[in-house]
A and B are shown apart, each in its own frame.
Chain A
Amino acid sequence: QSALTQPASVSGSPGQSITISCTGTSSDVGGYNYVSWYQQHPGKAPKLMIYDVSKRPSGVSNRFSGSKSGNTASLTISGLQAEDEADYYCSSYTSSSTVFGTGTKVTVL
């Protein structure tokens, strides 16, 4: 199972909105509404930010939102803050495994 494709880096100024894409195939992202997004700060464990494409776990800021169109899922961070600077990974359910994205480094300018 090949990794999902994400841009290596995305940047934005404080207060702006940014969107991270996650491209897969009809066997993963496009085939199921089970896309998750994780935030990982350096030296820390990943944190679940979005699951089931667009649902937010309790305690996650509503500045984070998810969506999907065809084989591509997206994570949007609105009102960008310094604390949002981190690596972000998407993941998708498949019929026999979980596949993660290649990861995106978000930089707050």
Chain B
Amino acid sequence: EVQLVESGGGLVQPGRSLRLSCAASGFTFDDYAMHWVRQAPGKGLEWVSGISWNSGSTGYADSVKGRFTISRDNAKNSLYLQMNSLRAEDTALYYCAKDTGYNWNYGNAFDIWGQGTMVTVSS
């Protein structure tokens, strides 16, 4: 079964850090680009970051650039998001999503999604 399972979310104080993980199964992980997409409570979808199949290229939304870092370990079929200097506006459900292609910045259609992990930034 094709599956993405996120973990690592929780309650964190403003200015602190958190690392999200996404475990992939049921497909050849290192053939595809991967992304993080977030959704604030009651709000719409917001693309956060993408990474190409071989980690050779990454991209970030302006709202997280310089604070978040995306990475992947193809040997472990895993995607990560290191989130530093967290702000209240980063509070959201964070989804891991599989691209239909191997480059994060080409086409950008997301055909497999996890169930998300909730990040709450509050003092």
CB-CB under 8 A from A51, the residues of chain B are: 100, 107, 109, 111
Q: Interface segment, A18-26, A78-86, A96-104?
A: A96-104
Alpha-carbon separation in the docked complex, A38 to B112 (Å): 11
Known: A45-B113, A47-B113. A99 touches B47 (CB 8 A): yes
The yes or no answer to A48 lying at the interface (CB within 8 A) is yes
Q: Contact between A91 and B108 (Cβ–Cβ < 8 Å)?
A: yes
Q: Contact between A102 and B109 (Cβ–Cβ < 8 Å)?
A: no
Q: Which of A57-104 contact B (CB under 8 A)?
A: 57, 89, 91, 93, 95-103
Nearest chain-A residue to B49 (Cβ)? A97
In this complex, the member of A36, A45, A48 whose beta carbon has the largest number of chain B beta carbons within 10 angstroms is A45
B110: contacting residue among A3, A48, A102, CB under 8 A: A48
Q: Contact between B113 and A34 (Cβ–Cβ < 8 Å)?
A: no
Q: Which of B86-115 contact A (CB under 8 A)?
A: 95, 100, 105-111, 113-115
In this complex, the member of B37, B44, B62 whose beta carbon has the largest number of chain A beta carbons within 10 angstroms is B44
The yes or no answer to B9 lying at the interface (CB within 8 A) is no
Closest approach, in angstroms, between the C-beta of B18 and any C-beta of chain A?
20
Contact mask for chain A residues 29-52; partner B; CB cutoff 8 A; 1 contact, 0 none? 000001010101000011110011
Alpha-carbon separation in the docked complex, A45 to B111 (Å): 11
The yes or no answer to B11 lying at the interface (CB within 8 A) is no
29 A-B residue pairings within 8 Å (CB atoms): A34-B108, A34-B109, A36-B108, A38-B45, A40-B45, A45-B95, A45-B114, A46-B37, A46-B45, A46-B113, A48-B109, A48-B110, A48-B111, A51-B109, A52-B107, A52-B109, A57-B111, A89-B45, A93-B105, A93-B107, A95-B105, A96-B105, A97-B59, A97-B61, A98-B35, A98-B47, A100-B45, A100-B47, A103-B44
